[in-house]
Amino acid sequence: MTTAAGGSVPYRARRGTTGTVLQSETARAYALISPTLLYALVLLVVPILVVIAHSFWTQDYLTIDRTFTLENYRVALTEPIYRDLLMRSLVISLLVSLFTVVLAYPIAYFISFHGGRHKNLWLFLITVPFWSSYLLRVMSWKVILGYNGVLNSGLMAVGIIDEPSTAFLYNSTAVVITLTHAWAAFAILPIYVSLEKVDRTLIEAATDLGDGPIRRFLRVTLPLSIPGVISALLIVMIPTVGDFVTPRLVGGKDGVMIANAIQAQFGKASNWPLGAALSVTTMAVVTAMAAASVLVLRLLMRLGR
Amino acid sequence: MRRILNGWLPIYAVAYIVFLYLPIVFLPIFSVNTSPVPQFPIADFTLKWYRDLPRTPALLDAAWNSLVVGVSAAVLSTVLGICAARAITRYRFPGRRAVNGLIMAPLVLPEIVIAISMLLIMLQAGLSLSLFTVVLGHILVCIPYSVSVLTSGFEGFDRSLEEASADLGETAFGTFRRVTLPMVAPAIISSLLVSFTISLDEFIMAFFLAGTEATLPVYIWGQLRFAAKLPSVLALGTLMLAGTFLLLTIAEILRRRAARRAQTAGIALA
C-alpha cells in the first residue's frame, strides 16, 4: 500500500537534447509502457465505453435492443427507489470521507512530526489491518455492533445501558462506521506523504516571526498539506459510493446503497442497460460531488487565510 | 497549548491503532470458541473449527483456485508494472502524466463499476466466466499497487550505475540484467507479494467474474449466509490473516533492505 512516490526526477538524455534524441526517447518510453497501457485501454477504457453505450440501449428479454434511448436515465434519475438509493449513497460516502479524513489527519500529523525513528513502524502498523480479508472485517463489525455483540455486552457490563440496544446494527450508522474503518489507511497515507513534504524551515520561520502553534498550523502546515487532504478525500469518496458488501452485511433495510441496486440489475433483475445507466449516473454524480468538495475546501482555505 | 497537543497526540494515536485493530482481534478470539454464537463471555476453548477446515472439499477447491489466481495475477501484474514503472522513472515523455493517471485509475474508481464493465465486455466477447476472467480482473486491480511499489524501487537507486555500465560497453539488455535487475529485485519481490495479497482478498471482481469456480472470498461470502458456519469462517479468516501478515512482513523487510542497499550504493559512489 505504499503510495506512489510523486515528483520523480525523470531521466534526461545526456548526449545533447536534439529533437531526434527526444523523439526516440519518447518512442522508447511508449514502446516500454505499451503492454501496460494497452492492457488498461482494452480492459478498462473500452469496457467503460461499452457500459456507457449500454446505458443508451434497452433490454429486450434476452437480447439488447440497440436503439438509442434516454429511458434508462429517466428511470435512474426519477424513480423514487433509485433516486433515494443514490442520495443515500452520496450522503454516506460524503460522511465516510469527511470522518476518515478528519480522524486520519491527527494520526498522519503525529507520525510525520513526532514519529521520530519509528515512522516506518507506525506506517506498517496502520496498513496491516487493511490487508486482512475485507469481508471478514465487515463481518467482525457485525459481531461488534450486533444485538448480542461486543459493544452491547461491554456497555451493559459497565452499566451504561440495561438491555442490548438494536441501534448499532442494520442501519446507515453501521455502514458509516464500517466504511470509515475500512478506508482509514487510504486517507492516512496521502496526508502523511504531503505532511512529509512540508518544509520544516517554513514552520520555524513562522515561529520566529511570532506565530503561535495554532496560527502556525493554520497558516503554514495545514495549507501546505491540503493536496494530501484532497487526494485522501477523493480516494475515499469515489470508491465508497460503489460498495455493496458493507451495506449488504451491516446495512439492513435502510443501509442499502446504489451498488446493491446495480448488482441486482446484473444478477436477478437482469436488466443490463438499466444497471449500466445506474453505474454511469453514480459515477457522474459522485465525480461532481468530489469536485464540489474540493472547491469548497479550497474556498475555506482561502477564507481562513 | 503546545504541551496539551503533544500530550494528547500520542494517546490519540494509540486509541486510533486500537480502533484499527478492534475488528481484527475478534477473528482469532471467536474462532477458538466452542459456541458458534460470537458473544462474550467465551464458552470454552476449542480447536475443532480449525480441524474441520481440511475436511471441507469446497473450501480446499476455493483455496486452490485462489492460489492459482493469486500467483497468475501477481506475476502478470508485476511484469506489466515493471514496464510501466521503468518507462515512468526512466524517460520523460509527452503524455507521461496522462498515461500514469490511466494506469492508476482503477485505484479511484468504484470497484463495482470496473467489475460490471469487465463482465459486460467479456460476455460480449463470448468469453465464458472462469478463473481466467478473474485473473484478468485482478491484474487490472493489482497494476496500480505494483506500479507504486516498483516506481519507488526504481527511483531509489543511483542512475550513474546504469550509465557507467553503458559507458563500459554493456548493451541496454546487459545493463538491465546485470546492473538494474539485482538492484530492483527486492522491489519486484515486494510487488509480487503485495499483488498476491490483494488478489487473495479481492472479492467484488471475483464475485462478478468467477462463474462457477469460487475463490476464497467468494466461498466465504457464500458461507456468511449460514450463522452456524460462522466459527469455521472465522478460523479460516484467522489463518488467512496470519498468512497475509507473514507475506507483508517479508515484503516490508525486503523493501527496507532495498532502500538501505540503494542508500549504501549511493554513498559508495559519492
Please report residues of A whose CB lies closer than 8 A to that of B193.
none
pLDDT of residue B116: 92
Domain assignment present for residue B244? The answer is: yes
What gap in Å lies between CA B201 and CA B218, rounded to an integer? Answer: 10
Q: What is the pLDDT of residues A63-108, one digit of tens each?
A: 788 888 888 999 888 999 999 999 999 999 999 999 999 999 999 9
Band (pLDDT 50/70/90 cuts) for residue A21 is: low
Which residue segment(s) compose the domain that B152 sits in?
A: 56-269
Q: Would you say residue B267 has pLDDT above 70?
A: no
Q: Tens digits of per-residue pLDDT, B49-81?
A: 888 888 888 999 999 999 999 999 999 999 999
| pLDDT > 90? residue B126 | no
**Chains A, B: CB pairs < 8 Å:** 263
* pLDDT attached to residue A115: 82
Taking CB atoms and an 8 Å limit, are A133 and B240 in contact across chains?
A: yes
The pLDDT value recorded for residue A22 is 64
Is the bond into B41 cis (omega within 30 degrees of 0)? yes
Q: Is residue B91 part of a domain?
A: yes
Does B41 reside within a domain? no
The predicted-structure confidence for A165-190, as pLDDT tens digits, reads as follows 877 888 888 999 999 999 998 899 99
Whole-number average pLDDT of chain B: 85
Q: What is the number of domains present in chain B?
A: 1
Is the Cβ pair B151, A8 closer than 8 Å? yes
Each residue of B15-40: pLDDT tens digit? 999 999 988 888 888 888 877 777 76
Query: Which one of A3, A25, A36, A214 makes the best mutation probe of the B interface by having the most chain B beta carbons within 10 Å?
Result: A36
- The more confident residue out of B6 and B16 is B16
Contacts of B93 in chain A (CB under 8 A): 25-26, 29-30
Give yes or no for A111 touching B (CB within 8 A).
Answer: yes
Q: Is residue B246 part of a domain?
A: yes
Whether residue A301 has pLDDT greater than 80? yes
- pLDDT at A15 (0 to 100): 46
Tell me: pLDDT of A234 over 50.
Answer: yes
Is residue B87 assigned to a domain?
yes
Q: What is the predicted pLDDT for the residue at A218? A: 84
Across the interface, which of A107, A153, A249 has its CB nearest the CB of B13? Answer: A107
Question: Does the pLDDT value for residue B143 go beyond 90?
Answer: yes
**Cβ-defined contact of A135 to B203 (cutoff 8 Å):** yes
Q: Which residues of B touch A9 (CB under 8 A)?
A: 155
User: What confidence score (pLDDT) does residue B3 get?
Assistant: 58
B194 domain-assigned: yes
Q: What is the mean pLDDT of residues A231-241?
A: 90
Give the CATH number, domain containing residue B158: 1.10.3720.10
Q: Could B1 and A213 be called an inter-chain contact, meaning their C-beta atoms sit closer than 8 Å?
A: yes
Closest by Cα among B58, B63, B33 to B48: B33
pLDDT tens readout for residues B199-241: 988 999 999 998 888 999 999 999 888 878 888 888 888 888 8
Question: CA A133, CA A115: separation in Å to the nearest integer?
Answer: 28
pLDDT at A252 over 80: yes
pLDDT band at A16 (very low <50, low <70, confident <90, very high): very low
List CB contacts (< 8 A) between B204 and chain A.
244-245
Instruction: Please name each of the domains of chain A with its CATH number.
Output: 55-304 (1.10.3720.10)
Section A22-37 average pLDDT:
87
Residues 6+ apart with CB under 8 A from A198: A112, A220, A221, A224, A225
CA of B230 vs chain A CAs: smallest distance (Å): 9
Q: What is the pLDDT of residue A110?
A: 92
Question: B24 lies in a domain?
Answer: no
Domain for residue B214, yes or no? yes
| Window A:257-296, CB contacts with B under 8 Å | 259, 262-263, 266, 272, 275-276, 279, 282-283, 286
**Interchain proximity B113–A35, CB inside 8 Å:** no
Flag the least confident range among A104-113, B84-93, B180-189, B256-265. Answer: B256-265
pLDDT confidence of residue B102: 94
Identify the pLDDT of residue A89: 92
Pick from A12, A144, A245: CB nearest B22: A144
Per-residue pLDDT, A293: 92
Q: Report the pLDDT value the prediction gives residue A40, as an integer from 0 to 100.
A: 94
